[in-house]
Amino acid sequence: MPTDRVFLTGATGFVGSHVLRELLNAGYSVRALTRPSTTRSPRANATQDDNTAQDDITDHDDITGHHDTGRVEIVEGDLRRVGDFARALEGCRYLMHCAALYSFAPADRRALHDVNVRGTAGLFEAARVAGVERAVLTSSSATLGAARDGTPRTEEDYAQAGGWGYHHSKVEQERAAFAARVPVVVLLPTAPVGPGDVKPTPTGQLVLEYAKGKIFAKPPRGGMNLVPVEDVARAHVTALQRGRTGERFILGGDNLTLDEVWALLSAVTGKKIPAWRAPAWLALAIAHVDELRARLTRTRPFVPVEGVRMSRALMFADNAKARRELDFQPGSVTSALERAVHWYRAHGYC
């Protein structure tokens, strides 16, 4: 029943905040997990890390506004210490786990495992004990790996075993969720775009930097899949209601080469496409140097190696299964980019 309570993690993140809105629109009550710093003014915290938010905080549909009207109950906690808030899962029929630590910083690699993998395992065990009947996990299409021959990846595909970093932690997170004794549907968004990407995510950062006119070179000849974030959020509610448990579903929109992405950004922002293309070897060399700087200073890399490697690949995905079983009908990527740029401009980011 839509009046049932959902325990939602990552409600202050980019995807999670849109999921919160869709859950409320569908009539659910929500118990939202946040860190103490994320229940205050969103703009005041927009540069802070948040271990329980998928991407970070937004200032549209402020969670505190829902809380003040009684539409959302806020629970403070950290996924590295699930025991501290485990009892808050009692009385919740469903779990919607959108939270993850998203970082390319070398210093965060241990935390990535602690939050994304061990935290997920602990959360799902607490959900089982509390009697949660069904869960939805927000994973990532990066767990599929690259489409080396250009053929879009499907739910049957997995990235190569081993490795490190954020994307590897998401593969391990999926395994932890499927190993739990709570029926789970796993959703794999590609690269969501749209309004409210405060931190922003790597894709949002690309949109923002292009809108600012700070992009001076074309990227290597890779490709990615873009999808409107609002459609991703609506699919979460559908998956909660009727997605087949034990299954993965790709939430993707348009497969685009990076040159096609640049053309869309140019049309949306009014900025010219750079004439010069950065050689792949140069981009990777810069990334390795920047990672060394990040290691020495224990800060985030400006040009992450993991991101550069993905930019050289064709990260194409096939959403046919979600279309068939979840009635997933993603809208226009161009319109989503327009909404993202408008939001950044309206809020003074560019």
Instruction: Give the integer Cα–Cα distance in Å for 274 and 216.
Output: 6
* Confidence band, pLDDT 50/70/90 cuts, at residue 254: very high
Lowest mean pLDDT among 25-34, 203-212, 307-316: 307-316
Average pLDDT over residues 54-78: 62
Residue 52 has pLDDT above 70, yes or no: no
79, pLDDT greater than 90: yes
Token pair recorded at residue 55: 């991407």
Mean pLDDT of 233-260: 97
Mean pLDDT on 3-9? 92
Of 262 and 216, the one with more pLDDT = 262
Backbone angles phi, psi at 341, to 5 degrees: -65, -45
DSSP β-ladder status, 191-193 and 248-251: unpaired
Question: Comparing 212 with 52, which gets the higher pLDDT?
Answer: 212
Is 41 a residue whose pLDDT tops 60? no
Count of beta carbons in the 10 Å neighbourhood of residue 53: 31
For residues 234-243, average pLDDT: 98
Q: Which of 132, 131, 241, 225 is nearest to 185 (CA)?
A: 241
pLDDT (0 to 100) of residue 59: 39
Highest mean pLDDT pick, 42-56, 117-131, 285-299: 117-131
CA-wise closest residue to 321 among 239, 225, 240, 256: 239
| Average pLDDT, integer, range 224-251 | 98
pLDDT, mean of residues 88-107: 90
Model confidence at 35, pLDDT cuts 50, 70, 90, reads confident
User: Could you report the per-residue pLDDT of 155-191, keeping only the tens digit for each?
Assistant: 999 987 666 678 889 999 999 999 999 999 999 999 9
What CA–CA distance (Å, rounded) separates 196 from 37? Answer: 18
Report the C-alpha gap between 317 and 144 in whole angstroms.
8
Is the separation of the CB atoms in 22 and 235 below 8 Å? no
d(CA 73, CA 100): 20
* Nearest Cα to Cα of residue 227 among 97, 336, 147: 336
Give 72's strand partners: 30
Query: Bigger pLDDT: 335 or 148?
Result: 335
- Report the C-alpha gap between 128 and 328 in whole angstroms: 29
Whether the per-residue pLDDT at 69 is higher than 60: the answer is no
> Per DSSP, which regions of the chain are E strands?
5-9, 29-34, 72-76, 94-97, 134-138, 184-189, 191-193, 223-228, 248-251, 254-257
CB 269 within 8 A of CB 341: yes
* Euclidean distance between CA atoms 24 and 65, whole angstroms: 13
Give residue 202's pLDDT: 86
Domains and CATH numbers, the chain: 5-197+226-253+316-331 (3.40.50.720)
Structure tokens at 9: 């993690």
Cis ω for the linkage preceding 200 (within 30 of 0):
yes
pLDDT tens digits, one per residue of 272-315:
999 888 777 777 777 777 677 767 787 767 666 666 666 668 89
Rounded mean pLDDT of 229-250?
98
Mean of all residue pLDDT scores within the chain: 86
N residues, the chain: 350
Instruction: Report whether pLDDT(38) > 60.
Output: no
- pTM metric for this prediction: 0.88
The helix (H) or strand (E) run that includes residue 66 is helix 63-68
Strands 94-97 and 223-228, bridge-based pairing: unpaired
- φ, ψ of residue 115 to 5 degrees: the values are -85, -55
pLDDT of residue 276: 81
